[in-house]
A and B are shown apart, each in its own frame.
Chain A
């Protein structure tokens, strides 16, 4: 490759405009023996790239990946089902506790008090009835 061409390609290269082929040409050139001294640093750069391209994943990499993706013991469907039943049960029991049995009949405390008073008197009267069957 002519010096002129190399200069052009390098310029393009640093603009990141070189094609794959052109980069290959550059790499090949700097691998060659007749690289001027001023371009010695370029030679290092391109030989570094070449070296890095040679790096192959070690054997342990595959092992490490397989370790990561190995199926783990998981909660079975039955356990999820059981969990769902538990949640449902708790929910239902809470729901039932507040359900119809304890819905307030009165919203006015005064009326509620009147009802309580009446109930107490009925209970009291019945109590005394039990203690005085002949009266």
Chain B
């Protein structure tokens, strides 16, 4: 009987581990911790809602955005104006770099931006942006089939050279 009890404890621990793994990705951990925190504002758009998006009026939406959105599955944003740099650091510490690949890092006096991606067979499944400046901290997770060139081009009206540079950056990264 003693052995059974030990077995029970081991099994129990295994399953506690299994359950907590379900949210083990960086954004999941971070969201899970702060989603109910009143200091944070949260936006979640689920795959279900993304499917519903096909029913709205698209006439006013630029084609680039239309194409990008149609390949997304979910979006989560969490942001706060409280101690942005503290949360920036915490968010970074929660990213498992075995899962994510670093894409872009910006660090200057004011801005701290980090883009990481989850890639599988040349397709980017998740783009995670963590950004902080003195006004606030934002973490965004785009899940879907993400085309970085296209994404960079979305604001090309503001900066036409972004596309070429992104291509260079990607090459450097590989």
Interface residues of A (CB under 8 A from B): 76-79, 81-82, 85-86, 88-89, 92-93, 96-97, 100-106, 109-110, 112-113, 115-117, 119-133, 135
Given A106-B49, A127-B115, are A113 and B56 neighbors across the interface (CB < 8 Å)?
yes
Residues of B contacting A79 with CB < 8 Å?
4
Q: Pull 5 A–B residue pairs with CB atoms less than 8 Å apart, ordered by A.
A: A79-B4, A104-B46, A104-B49, A106-B49, A112-B45
Most buried by B among A100, A103, A130: A130
B95 in contact (CB, < 8 A): no
Interface residues of B (CB under 8 A from A): 1, 4-5, 7-8, 11-12, 15-16, 18-19, 22-23, 28, 31-32, 35-36, 42-46, 48-49, 52-53, 55-57, 61, 65, 68-69, 72, 74-77, 104-106, 108, 111, 113, 115, 127, 129, 131, 138, 140, 142, 148, 151-155, 158-159, 161-162, 165-166, 169
Instruction: Contact check, B22 vs A93: say whether CB atoms are below 8 A apart.
Output: yes
The 9 residue pairs across chains A and B that have the minimum distance between CB atoms? A78-B4, A89-B15, A130-B104, A131-B165, A124-B155, A128-B162, A124-B154, A100-B35, A109-B52
Instruction: Contact check, A123 vs B4: say whether CB atoms are below 8 A apart.
Output: no
Residues of B contacting A126 with CB < 8 Å?
106, 113, 115, 129, 131
Given A85-B8, A115-B43, A132-B159, are A100 and B19 neighbors across the interface (CB < 8 Å)?
no
Instruction: Contact check, A124 vs B45: say whether CB atoms are below 8 A apart.
Output: no
Instruction: Contact check, A112 vs B1: say whether CB atoms are below 8 A apart.
Output: no
Determine the main DSSP class of B at the interface with A.
Answer: mixed
Task: Give the contacting residue for A121; candidates B48, B77, B104, B154; CB below 8 A.
Answer: B154
Q: How far is the CA of A132 from the CA of B156 in the complex (A)?
A: 12
Residues of A contacting B74 with CB < 8 Å?
102
A107 to nearest B CB, angstroms? 8
Q: How far is the CA of A133 from the CA of B77 in the complex (A)?
A: 24
B88 to nearest A CB, angstroms? 13
| 5 additional A-B residue pairs with CB within 8 Å, beyond A129-B111, A130-B106 | A76-B4, A85-B8, A100-B31, A120-B142, A133-B106
Residues of B contacting A115 with CB < 8 Å?
43, 45, 75, 77
Residues of B contacting A130 with CB < 8 Å?
104-106, 113, 115, 169
Instruction: Contact check, B42 vs A105: say whether CB atoms are below 8 A apart.
Output: yes
